């Protein structure tokens, strides 16, 4: 009856207007490019269950509006996020320059422990590039971010971006760095961990489980 998963992670997608945040989410969830994308009004929501390191994780993703006028509304969604995709547009220096502000917002409003992956989107528009890979990866290193260049149009690195972020959070849970039971951690247990542990041999779920290994 209910969806089964081991963990639920709360994710944010943040960054300036027009960087393709909604398209990244759409590509990740629907596996296709969103042709008729408009500016997001307020905050949109999407979710997908993924398999990371043998665990099923439900990602609950809040896709925020990039426009300044929605800023106070979108900020109210930050609290308790476990991970974030910080998006800029490689063809727009302006969106790159704004990253520091977005980063400060995320770390102060969500949680200092939030796991953030920097996504340089619109990788397919290499000809119009205004931000180099090297420059951005240096910025990522300095700020302890993971980094990828993505394309919501072709789908390149989109899945990776979300999965990498989820994997890092899982590692932190395993190492004890993150405590899922803590309030506002942005992490919840599902009941699947329980089921899979105890699933009898020979049932279909067990077979599925083996395939995942």
Partner 1 sequence: MMERAMEQLNVQLNRLTRSLRRARTVELPEDNETAVYTLMPMVMADQHRSVSELLLNSKFDVNYAFGRVKRSLLHIAANCGSVECLVLLLKRGANPNYQDISGCTPLHLAARNGQKKCMGKLLEYNADVNICNNEGLTAIHWLAVNGRTELLHDLVQHVSNVDVEDAMGQTALHVACQNGHKTTVLCLLDSGADINRPNVSGATPLYFACSHGQRDTAQILLSRGAKYLPDKNGITPLDLCVQGGYGETCEILIQHHSRLFQTLIQMTQNDGIKENMLRQVLEHVSQQSDSHYQKILTSLAEVATTNGHKLLSLSSSYEAQMKSLLRIVRIFCHVFRLGPSSPNNGNDMGYNGNKTPRNQVFKPLELLWHSLDEWLVLISTELERSRKNPSSFSSSSEIASLLLKQREGDNAMTELPSLLEADGEDVISMTANRLSAVIQAFYMCCSCQMPQGMTSPRFIEFVCKHDEVLKCFVTRNPKIIFNHFHFLLECPELMSRFMHIIKGQPFKDRSEWFYEHLLSGQPDSDMVHRPVNENDILLIHRDSIFRSSCEMVSKSTNEKLKQGIAVRFHGEEGMGQGVVREWFDILSGEIINPDYALFTQSADGTTFQPNSNSSVNPDHLNYFRFAGQILGLALYHRQLVNIYFTRSFYKHILGIPVNYQDVSSIDPEYAKNLQWILDNDISDLGLELTFSVETDVFGAMEEVPLKPGGTSILVTQDNKAEYVQLVTELRMTRAIQPQINAFLQGFHTFIPPSLIQLFDEYELELLLSGMPEIDVQDWCRNTEYTSGYDPQEPVIQWFWEVVKSLTQEERVLLLQFVTGSSRVPHGGFAYLMGGSGLQKFTIAAVPYTSNLLPTSSTCINMLKLPEYPSKEVLKDRLLVALHCGSYGYAMA
**Contacts with partner 1, residue ranges (CB under 8 A):** 1-2, 17-18, 35-39, 41-45, 60, 62, 67, 69-70, 72-73, 75-77, 79-80, 89, 91-92, 122, 183, 188-191, 193-195, 198-200
The nearest distance, CB 189 to partner 1, in angstroms, is: 5
Q: DSSP of 33-77, one letter per residue?
A: --TT--PPPSEEEEEEEEEETTEEEEEEEEEE--SGGGHHHHHTT
Tokens 């590692």 found at: 171
The nearest distance, CB 199 to partner 1, in angstroms, is: 7
**C-beta of 161 vs 190, nearer to partner 1:** 190
**C-beta of 58 vs 164, nearer to partner 1:** 58
**C-beta of 37 vs 113, nearer to partner 1:** 37
Q: How far is CA 91 from the centre of its chain?
A: 21
- Best CA proximity match to 83, nearest among 150, 166, 201, 16: 166
Instruction: Outline where DSSP puts E strands in the chain.
Output: 7-15, 43-52, 55-64, 83-89, 115-121, 146-149, 187-189
**C-beta of 55 vs 164, nearer to partner 1:** 55
The nearest distance, CB 141 to partner 1, in angstroms, is: 26
The nearest distance, CB 17 to partner 1, in angstroms, is: 7
What is the DSSP code (8-state) at residue 159?
Answer: H
Sign of the CA dihedral running 62, 102, 67, 39: negative
The nearest distance, CB 177 to partner 1, in angstroms, is: 21
**C-beta of 91 vs 157, nearer to partner 1:** 91
């Amino acid at each position: 009856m209910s969806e089964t998963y081991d963990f639920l992670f709360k994710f944010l997608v943040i960054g300036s207007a027009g960087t393709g945040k909604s398209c990244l989410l759409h590509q990740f969830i629907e596996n296709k490019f969103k042709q008729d994308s408009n500016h997001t009004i307020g905050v949109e929501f999407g979710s997908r269950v993924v398999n990371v390191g043998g665990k099923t994780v439900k990602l609950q993703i809040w896709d925020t509006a990039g426009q300044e006028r929605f800023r106070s509304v979108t900020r109210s969604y930050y609290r308790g996020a476990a991970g974030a995709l910080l998006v800029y547009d490689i063809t727009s220096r302006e969106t790159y320059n704004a990253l520091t502000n977005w980063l400060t917002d995320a770390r102060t409003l969500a949680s200092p422990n939030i796991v953030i992956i920097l996504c340089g989107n619109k990788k397919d528009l290499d000809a119009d590039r205004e931000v180099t890979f090297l420059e951005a990866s240096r910025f990522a290193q300095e700020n302890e971010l993971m980094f990828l260049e993505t394309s919501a149009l072709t789908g390149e690195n989109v899945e990776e971006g979300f999965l990498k972020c989820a994997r890092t959070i899982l590692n932190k849970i395993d190492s004890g760095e993150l405590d899922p039971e803590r309030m506002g951690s942005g992490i919840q247990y599902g009941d699947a961990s329980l089921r899979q542990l105890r699933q009898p041999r020979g049932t279909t779920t067990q077979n599925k489980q083996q395939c995942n290994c």
